[in-house]
Amino acid sequence: NGNGGKIHPFVSLEFFPPRTNDGEKNLNERIGRLKENVNPLFVDFTWGADGSTADSTLDLTVQAKNVHNLIPNMHLTCTNMPKSKIDTALSECKKNGIQNIVALRGDPPAGESHWEASENGFSCALDLIRYIKKNHDDYFCLSVAGYPEGHPDKIKSRPEGIDSLSASEMTRYNLSRETGEITVCSDQDWNEELNYLKGKCEAGADLIITQMFFDVEVFKNFRVACRNNGIKVPIIP
C-alpha cells in the first residue's frame, strides 16, 4: 500500500444539519476542531426527508470543502423529491465544485411510516443513480448504501427460533437480550438485496458505504458475498 506494509485506519464523520443558524455556526466551529484532532478521510452531510434540510446541507458541504479543506460527501435522497429539487441540488453542487454524492432512497418524512415517490419522481436509489449518470455523465462520484446485516426493511422477526436459521442466516442474525427475539434478513431477501446492490453498481455507483455494524465478521461475510456476486467497487465500512 505504499506505506511499507503498514495499514493506517481512517475515520469518516457524518453530520445531520442543525435546525437553527446558531446550531449551524456551532457545528462549523466543531468541524474545524475535529479537522485538527481527527483529520477525517471525508465528511458526510445528511439530506432531510423531502429536501427539508436542502439549503443547510449544501451550505455545510460547501464550507467543509472551502473553509475546512475537507473532502465532503453530500447525501441526496429521492423520497418525496420532485426532479426539480434534484436538478437544483446537483446544479448547486457543480457550481461549487462538489463531486461526491451519496445517492439514497431516504426515509419517510417525520410522522409518516411510509415513503412515496413524487409525481414523475423517483421510486428508489437506482432511479436516482441512472438519472444522475444520464444528465451529468461521470462528473459525480456516486456512493450507495450497503447493508451487511440486510436492509432494515427486510430484517424481520423469526419466531420459530434459532434452529430455523440457515447457515448463512446464522452469520447475520440478531438476538435481543431483553426479549430473546431473533431477527434476521432471510436468505431470499438477502439475495434480492445483493442483486439490487449489483444493479446500482452496474448503473454507475462508484463505491459502497455500509450501514453501521458491530461484528466485523458480518462485514467480512458481506464483502465476500458482494465479490462472489460480481460487485467489484470499493466497499467502505
Please write the tens of the pLDDT for every residue from 176-194: 999 999 999 999 999 999 9
What pairs with residue 15 in β-bridges? 45
CA distance 79 to 230: 28
Q: What is the pLDDT of residue 1?
A: 46
Beta strands 235-236 and 155-157, pairing class: unpaired
What are 16-54's pLDDT values in tens digits? 999 898 999 999 999 999 999 999 999 999 988 666 788
Task: State pTM to two decimals.
Answer: 0.89
Catalytic residue list: 14
What are 93-121's pLDDT values in tens digits? 999 999 999 999 876 655 565 666 656 66
Nearest residue to 143 (alpha-carbon basis) of 80, 87, 71, 217: 71
* Phi/psi of residue 103, nearest 5 degrees: -90, 115
